[in-house]
A and B are shown apart, each in its own frame.
Chain A
Amino acid sequence: MFRRVNALNKTPFFAQQESLGGRFVPFAGFEMPVQFAGVVDEHRAVRSRCGIFDVSHMGEVVIEGPQAMDAVQMLITNDAGRIQDGQALYTVMCRADGGIVDDLIVYRDSETRFFLVINAACRSDDVEHMRTVMGSFDCAIDDQSDRWCLLALQGPHSAEILSRVTDLTLGDLKPFHFVEGTVGGVESVRVSRTGYTGEDGFELYCPWETGPQLWSALFEAEPELSPCGLGARDTLRLEMKYPLYGNDIDLERNPYEAGLGGTVRLAKSDFVGRDALERVKADGPSQRWIGFRMEGRGIPRSGYPIRVGELSGVVTSGTHSPSLEVPIGVGYVPSSLAAVNQVIAIEIRGKEIPARIVKTPFLERSHR
């Protein structure tokens, strides 16, 4: 719990975050802040005002060339044909057996250039998978993860705060759309109306070396801006039931059981995993990823067993919800048990504690 870390990468915001009282933990090869003022305070700041997250550990891969569109279509389960230039798409990419390699955001810069944002811990596996899948297409696969840093500005006040440091007309920027422009004096910032919190917000991609200037500009514009760590990022995303790769989804899970069937477009052109996913869809997934609230005392955590009579499942993430002030969790149960209001038990340190499957997201999205 208190071990020191060495030989890890630091993002360009390390010094600025350290001076704000950030506590760092090793995460996907980086020293990342887990908290500043405290997880609950940061969580509430994002739900009520605005918080800023350094998520520069995320990976960025550019697919560029005459066949970039066809290559991306082969890679992802969602349909890149549904978006225009300046739009983004949430999707997964699968193996041939339908197992999820990663979840990612695909930005369409043009028909011949796509900007893919992937999970840091998956980076090398993802890039290898991309080379295998897209190698025969006429396009370059350029892992630019070391060149881009990423700040997420999240919360109901984020548009107003961001408008103080840019001339871009943010009012016209819809969710899952992006523009490029100057922010806080930094040129060529990719401004995307996306996030991982359920609040209105923006993700700002800029070249690694210009990051500190962008950070300073945002804090000059709004000195009350709350720096947030991975702890609050986790509680915020969990209240929205957004999956975290490695916890809630992985190679052993397919998008249908994970509740991500909406990102699978079987009717589009061929893609890796389609045959397997067609079969899963036809048969129905044997398990489903559900959300539950504890009814007894205890906090569910990843790996805890779920029990209902002879049947069992597993918790994949859990926490005490700062917004609802009750313990909540997500996990996989047999499909026959996956209905809302089903009573289940979570095994916590050898004791079965009652819980109930509830409608998700746990919290209504506050915007859009």
Chain B
Amino acid sequence: MSIPKDLRYTKDHEWVRLEDDLVVVGITHHAQDQLGDVVFVELPEAGGGVRAGDTFGTVESVKAVSDLFAPVSGEVAEVNGELPDSPETVNTDPYGSAWMIKIRVADLGEVEGLMDASGYSEFLEG
């Protein structure tokens, strides 16, 4: 199971990557593996605010619906507009082209509070 070292992780199986003052968000390899064939992704409009723990979108596989939870609070600065047209990339490239939103965070400390790769790995084994 792929868990890149340079990312941070949530218990809801999302990953985040810091790009300057933006936090890029996606779902993990484990999450896409558990979901199975992803056929639908719904993302918010850019410009709105999110709070950590809020639902910001939806991802659906053939068999199940899963909510997407904001890992940190802030403003949705950018949305991956191509993803709803190619939802299968969530399975094939979860840490790359299947990024979902970028959040401009108020408090970078929120990112520090998330699990690192070894913490997430332990969480999965737990």
Contacts and interface: CB of A to CB of B under 8 A. Distances in A.
Q: How large is the interface on B (under 10, 10 to 19, 20 to 34, 35 or more residues)?
A: 10 to 19
A319 B62 contact: yes
A298 B40 contact: yes
B65 A235 contact: no
Contact of B63 (A2, A34, A297, A298): A34
A235 B62 contact: yes
B40 to A, nearest CB: 5
9 contacts: A1-B66, A38-B36, A39-B36, A234-B63, A299-B65, A301-B65, A320-B60, A327-B40, A349-B58
B39 A320 contact: yes
Interface string B23-41: 0000000000010110110
Contacts of B80: none
B61 interface: yes
Interface string B75-89: 000000000100000
A231 B37 CA distance: 11
A38 B37 contact: yes
B123 to A, nearest CB: 11
B34 A231 contact: no
A343 B66 CA distance: 28
A26 interface: no
Instruction: Please indicate which of the listed interface residues B39, B42, B65, B84 has the most CB atoms of chain A within 10 Å of its own CB.
Output: B39
Contacts of A234: 63
A319 B34 CA distance: 17
Interface of A: 1-2, 34-35, 38-40, 231, 234-235, 297-299, 301, 319-320, 322, 327, 349
Contacts of A39: 36-37, 61-63
B3 to A, nearest CB: 16
The 7 closest A-B pairs by CB, nearest first: A320-B39, A39-B62, A40-B37, A231-B63, A299-B60, A299-B40, A320-B62
B63 to A, nearest CB: 5
Contacts of A38: 36-37
A39 to B, nearest CB: 4
Nearest to A25: B63
Nearest to A351: B42
Contacts of A349: 42, 58
B34 A40 contact: no
Contacts of A320: 39-40, 60, 62
A34 B34 CA distance: 11
A40 B58 contact: no
A319 B65 CA distance: 10
B84 A297 contact: yes
A297 B36 CA distance: 20
Nearest to B39: A320
Nearest to A41: B37
A60 B94 CA distance: 44
Given A301-B65, A320-B39, 17 more contacts: A1-B34, A1-B66, A2-B34, A35-B36, A35-B63, A38-B36, A39-B37, A39-B62, A39-B63, A40-B62, A235-B62, A320-B62, A322-B62, A327-B39, A327-B40, A349-B42, A349-B58
A301 B63 CA distance: 9
Contacts of A297: 40, 42, 84
A235 to B, nearest CB: 6
Nearest to B65: A301
Contacts of B36: 35, 38-39, 231
Choose among A35, A38, A320, A322 the residue with the greatest number of B CB atoms under 10 Å from its CB. Answer: A320
B46 to A, nearest CB: 18
A298 B39 CA distance: 10
A323 to B, nearest CB: 12
A35 B91 CA distance: 15
Contacts of B65: 299, 301
Contacts of B62: 39-40, 231, 235, 319-320, 322
